[in-house]
Structure 1
């Protein structure tokens, strides 16, 4: 008999697609308390296999929910998909929205560890304790076709994830689409599914998550809801709930840090007529969100198409010089159907445009996206293309992952966060936009590296804990780990505060640093493209956007290494690993 846990189900499902065998693991309570769930537990299970090539059958594909997932804790419907990235070679995780993580928990599972390779294309179908591996004829279809076919024979409350043609044709830009409208993008995790011959996963759960202190959870929930209700960014008239993340479009334009023409400029003259209000007026969207989320930042157009999020809006307009709103909508829809990460796809097209000097028309843009998903050379990402042209410096990427829609010359915390992210050019690892642009929890000088090394380290720890709890990062724009620590304690019965959760986040981040070091990453990879140190942005309106001072950047990076407990080359040390209770780097 296993002592029942609260918050966690106490069960992890292992599936070998090669043999068809399944096994149930009951981890010790201590592992849960140390890793929390989500990103933390996924990283724990990836570590022993993290140096395997991405086509190795023993490399695990991991899907984990958090201890708050499936409870009434607000904005706690997220999960984590993790493996090694086919795009970067580094570790890679992606936050999985929709209802996937919630259904997994309700089905009685904290996570899935998927290994092996099926002989023929297959799907995994889970209903509570019943697990089926199903041969499928859906190979070669778009994601919307998969969701349509599954909807005809699977319960309506099912959550489903699927890959598209980009993954099946070997693109390291391939994402995973969840419940039709939610993308687990960045790093090419969809290709890991394709290598394993896994086309889709669907989960239905009928159980409930055991909660230790229901009254305590209700009090924590009320505190979180009260704080988010008072947040202009989240629930205000022009916030994410009303406008979607596209609400950031005007802010980036006003701050002169909207990446334009492949980051060669930082101001897009046509931005005022391509912002969130303009998209809303044109497409009359309704609100949509992940299971259990009251913010509902996703927007679905009246015609059923998903509205692009801010990064996609920006990259398919300013970054590639496109002024056609409908073309941006078409590009977003096509990427979702083909299973392409929109940020990397847009950035790769921008790189191609700068190198070739060829502008995109509606026809050539659509053709380029189809080519990317059907094995074309652009489907391998901007760095591969730029290197093939002898101009690697024109790939706006870190560790091979394309940058998102925030020019680092306009926010130096973002510059540092991009460079140091363990998964590559990611804006979400530390999300310095929160304090440099949105002034949450306090405003910081966006044109200074002063204090940013410590801020980035602490933010990374905070977000690692948040990802592991199963909570949306956006909730932290109004609340803090203090409120979610109370929710965590009420759900699990584990005494916790913000400091202890950040301690768990620190271990999670350091474990990822160890895995990257084992794959050969060091300080030479924690850097930005040279453009940002040699070219100014688009200054004006009394705002100067000079090149980043490289010496100041390197000093801030060195400060981060000291604070994180790394050596001067950004590599983990045995001493810090031991202090954090981690196995040392090899």
Structure 2
């Protein structure tokens, strides 16, 4: 192996069945093909991607990237990856806080966790000391677990854990990281629970070696200059000022805010629950991931996290709730129970449409508690809707509940939802950037023209971002050109926009290949029928028309062509061979 810059050269394998830990030193070629993060984790998942979440051999993966732990802006990220218990797709979650950086500084590029402990356990990493320990914390909520761990561990330790929802078998179970930085979707918390893994702690005192610190300083300054000039990120109406809740008014005014379970596209009470209203009520302070200058998270005076845009929209407009405190309590309870707030809010909306009953403050919280205890509610919107004989009320793609952007208001968004490898997800291609925020260039949001190629390129760029482990939000200001320079400075290898895009393409096609092996076809690259048959009703006499299905199918076909897929949505042999994924 060549000299390591931007990586430790070590992947830690932990077998919970035996309680043993072993080091692996991957070949240079593996790093060059997948870089790290989501890309490298997909490489390790691939041989086991057909395993169920209850199979001890299914790996739970946590990987950093070359930029993690360096001076590169917004590089305190990591990727949690496995097969989703909710959808059966490949699934990843981008996590922040301090955990990824401390894992890297402990000497590891990634963790591969397999096996199943006979009793509830925790993993404790302190530099090169790795322990699998029995724990009595099973059954405790995430706040209680993290607070107890903080009492006995050094201050510079990062913590992650699951809550009661995952322990009780809910595929909506998420992962809490350093109190403020969870948000892992797809039920990956249930993979932890199936392994009897309650928590992970990491402390690292090492340093990440950088090949050319001066060149990294130059790349860093260029990225920060672009960030500071970005109204979306740093302006007085941007994320740094308001948090991601800054999007609420904008998305509502564009008539694409999902309301009443996606039957409407405008929330008439939006002014009571938008970012300025929350700021006036809760007087929040700034908070961000380790090493980030944007500080897009906000903490209320009472210590609760202010919900981000997605969570706030789903606990207000989507379920017909105009009470900001009820939304705050609901999202906070999701965090403590270890529930994904997007999926939980969507399941609440589905239940409300089926029963016709609105939520009170008390019934909102009691329903969430029931969701974390098991039964049909715990299984997500699609399973609930099917159990009630109302499958049309589940607003999901591949079983994953949709986030807070209505696809009738953006046709690139509609295509991105449908073809996303993890299900209903806007972050695989983030078309909101060009269709709403006009970055890097504006596109017509009510046409499919050109969107197939745009979505494909955006997927590749974001997959490359996830492999480097930079924050996706930074790409509202900077781009791969700037990050290629940062990567070159850190690693000593000559990276370009094209070489990064190739890694992103390999990552995405690898995920589609794994999904195809698990039975996913073109029929799964689709949207709920509601979006093709019902207009988005809103105020002011504005009606957002339904999506034309034939135009959508043509756009999906065009995407398959530019992505190198066959008519069933599977990667062609030519594509697999070109990317070195044939086996």
Fold equivalence (TM over 0.5):
yes
1:54 is matched with which residue?
Answer: 53
Where do 1:341-380 residues align within 5 Å?
A: 341-380=340-379
Pairwise CA RMSD: 0.9
1:583 shift after superposition: 2.2
Superposition pairs of residues 385-404 of structure 1, within 5 angstroms: 385-404=384-403
Structure 1 position 542, deviation (Å) = 7.7
Is 1:516 the counterpart of 2:507? The answer is no
Distance 1:132 1:514 in 2: 35
**2:488 pairs with 1:494:** no
Query: How do residues 95-114 of structure 1 correspond to structure 2 at under 5 angstroms?
Result: 95-114=94-113
Greater CA deviation, 166-175 or 536-545? Answer: 536-545
Residues 262-341 of structure 1 correspond to what in structure 2 (within 5 A)? Answer: 262-341=261-340
Aligned to 1:141: 140
**1:245 aligned partner:** 244
| Displacement of 1:3 | 3.9
Task: Map residues 170-181 of structure 1 onto 2, 5 A cutoff.
Answer: 170-181=169-180
Q: Which residue of 1 aligns with 2:195?
A: 196
Contact 1:97 1:184 in 2 (8 A): no
**Distance in 2, Cα, partners of 1:311 & 1:321:** 15
Structure 1: distance between partners of 2:133 and 2:22: 17
| Match of residue 504 from structure 1 | 503
Aligned to 1:580: 579
Distance 1:297 1:221 in 2: 19
In structure 2, what is the equivalent of residue 12 of structure 1? Answer: 11
1:66-81 pair list within 5 angstroms: 66-81=65-80
The residue matched to 1:372 in structure 2 has which SS? helix
> Which residue of the partner structure matches residue 473 of structure 2?
474
Contact 2:267 2:538 in 1 (8 A): no
| Paired residues of 2:174 and 2:187 also in contact (CA < 8 A) | yes
Question: 1:91 and 2:90 equivalent?
Answer: yes
**What is the aligned partner in structure 2 of residue 214 from structure 1?**
213
Alpha-carbon distance in structure 2 between the residues aligned to 1:427 and 1:32:
27
CA distance in 1, matches of 2:544, 2:236: 30
Cα distance in 2 for residues equivalent to 1:435 and 1:528: 21
Question: Does residue 1:440 correspond to 2:439, yes or no?
Answer: yes
- Cα 1:539–1:328 shift into 2, 3 Å: closer
Note if 1:129 corresponds to 2:124. no
- Equivalents in 2 of 1:218, 1:258: separation in Å? 40
Aligned-pair distance for 1:538? 2.2
User: Does structure 1 conserve the Cα–Cα contact (< 8 Å) formed by 2:96 and 2:181?
Assistant: yes
1:60-100, Cα deviation, whole Å (9 max, x unpaired): 00000000000000001110000000000111000011111
The match for 2:424 is 425
What is the CA deviation profile of residues 160-183 of structure 1, one whole-angstrom value per residue up to 9, with x for unaligned ones?
100000000000000000001111
The corresponding residue for 2:162 is 163
Q: State how far apart, in whole Å, the 2-side matches of 1:313 and 1:184 are.
A: 13
Distance in 2 separating the partners of 1:516 and 1:359: 37
**Superposed CA offset, 1:180-234 (max 9, x none):** 1111321000000000000000100000000000000000000000000000000
Structure 1 Cα separation of the partners of residues 279 and 169 of structure 2: 35
Q: Secondary structure at the match of 1:319?
A: helix
Deviations 1:80-138 (CA, angstroms, capped at 9, x unpaired): 00000000011100001111110000101000000000010000000111101111100
- Count of residue pairs the alignment pairs up: 583
Distance, in Å, in 2 between the alignment partners of 1:86 and 1:261 is 27
Displacement after TM superposition at 1:147 (Å): 0.7
Partners of 2:240 and 2:296 within 8 A in 1 = yes
Structure 2 distance, partners of 1:173, 1:47, is: 23
In structure 2, stretches of 5+ residues that fail to align are none
TM-score, normalisation: structure 1 = 0.99
Q: CA deviation at 1:337?
A: 0.3
Distance (Å, rounded) in 2 between the aligned partners of 1:412 and 1:538: 17
Task: Provide the rounded CA distance (Å) in 2 between the counterparts of 1:376 and 1:391.
Answer: 17
Aligned pairs (5 A) from 1:526-545:
526-539=525-538, 544-545=543-544
User: Partners in 2 of 1:436 and 1:265 — Cα distance?
Assistant: 20
Residue 157 of structure 1 deviates from its aligned partner by 1.0
Q: Secondary structure at 1:471's aligned position in 2?
A: coil
**Separation in 1 of the partners of 2:101 and 2:183?**
15
Tell me the SS of whatever aligns to 1:4: coil
Q: State the Cα distance separating 1:4 from its structure 2 match.
A: 2.8
Equivalent pair of 2:268/2:539 in contact (CA under 8 Å): no
**Alpha carbons of structure 1 residues 42 and 167: separation in structure 2 relative to 1, 3 Å:** same
Secondary structure in structure 2 of the residue aligned to 1:390: coil
8 Å Cα contact 1:126/1:202 also seen in 2: yes
Aligned with 1:340: secondary structure? coil
* Distance verdict in 2 for CA 1:446–1:540, change over 3 Å: farther
8 A Cα contact 2:431 2:455, kept in partner: yes
Give me the TM-score of the superposition, normalised by structure 2. 0.99
* Residues 272 and 323 in structure 2, CA contact (< 8 A), matched pair in contact too: no
2: CA distance, partners of 1:190 / 1:184:
10
TM-fit CA distance, 1:541: 5.1
List gaps (5 residues or longer) in structure 1.
none
CA–CA distance in structure 2, aligned partners of residues 367 and 427 of structure 1: 30
Q: What is aligned with 1:452?
A: 451
